[in-house]
Amino acid sequence: MKINAKYASRLAVAPMMDWTDRHCRAFHRLLSREALLYTEMVTAPALVRGRALHLLDFAPEEQPVALQLGGSDPKELAEAARLGAERGYSEINVNVGCPSDRVQSGTFGAVLMKSPDLVARAVEAMRRAVDVPVTVKCRIGVDDQDPAEVLPAFLARVREAGCTRVTVHARKAWLQGLSPKENRDVPPLDYDLVAAMLAEFPDLHLSLNGGIDTLDAAVAALERGFHGVMIGRAAYQRPWDILAGADARIFGRDTPPPDPVEVAEAMRPHIAAHVAEGGKAHQVTRHMMGLFAGRPGARAWRRTLSEAAASGAGAEILDAALVAASQERAAA
């Protein structure tokens, strides 16, 4: 069955290093059947030169899921895209937004906002290599660039290369002077500039990213005309708040939000299988810490998962945390 990633991108969970691994995606998929999920950024050199193909592992149940690639060599990116498409990813995304020092040293990520022709050549090469959508995630500019000039020029160039979907993080990235963490918050958001691109590029599918931390804000962005919304940290830290109601509110599905306790229990087979393969339960449950965020039982849930992780507990960690959360709710 062909997966419609374009439709799913009405609400996407952003690719986040150390967070959106396969365990996180398995958990998020239980909360929303429709939202588009992304891998962590995988570098093209790791796949092509290092043959670290295990980085492409995912389960069919995660679909729709997109692979985000980092790199700057068009030929290498095309080969990495081919490897990802062969594994069954519904979309291949090029990272033109990450501001970390490690990414800069590899001449990819946000620094590529300075090289739109190189990005365009990469998109062209990747499109020739795969038959799934090739998309771009970018910033509105970097350093002293003028976003009002840089963003439309960048979008025009990648559109010419055949890219039809772009996610724009509506902040500049300061490659010198700000840490990656500060680059997520300090540069001001400019939603109006990104919104202006909707009229300037009516044939582009544009998703908005940056500072969107509620479903209400996501709905407002869609009502403003954006074709999609991408949410990062809020979806990870408050997953039930963001994802449990998404299928109904964003995708119009007539489905009630899943019960968080049932979601937790549904993760038991995944945890057990991971432990049976030699993994640790905490490698899964660390992504579930925020399941009860803002609700009675949240503190006991987090505390129990953390304590059990420190002790190296197995799959029973989930049962203990659910009991502790239930007792805290009963005492409230």
Which residues have a catalytic role annotated?
Answer: 98
The Cα angle at residue 151 between residues 105 and 138, in degrees rounded to 5 = 45
Give the single-character DSSP code of 214: S
Q: Which amino acid is at 138?
A: C
* Phi and psi at residue 22, to the nearest 5°: -65, -30
Q: Which residues contact 196 (CB under 8 A, 6 or more apart)?
A: none
Cα separation, 55 vs 53, in Å, equals 5
- Residue holding tokens 């990469």? 122
Give the single-character DSSP code of 130: -
Helix ranges (DSSP H) in the chain: 5-8, 22-31, 44-48, 74-87, 101-105, 116-129, 147-160, 180-183, 191-200, 215-224, 233-237, 239-243, 246-249, 260-266, 268-276, 282-285, 298-310, 316-331
CA 40 → CA 66, 138, 201, distances in Å?
Answer: 10, 15, 28
Cα separation, 93 vs 139, in Å, equals 14
What tokens were used for 247?
A: 């299928």
Give the number of C-alpha atoms closer than 13 A to the C-alpha of residue 320, restricted to the C-beta side.
16
Q: Determine whether 195 is exposed, middle or buried from the number of CB atoms within 10 Å of its CB (0-12, 13-18, 19+).
A: middle
Helix (H, G, I), strand (E, B) or coil at 95: strand
Query: What percent helix, strand, coil does the chain show, rounded to 5?
Result: 50, 15, 35
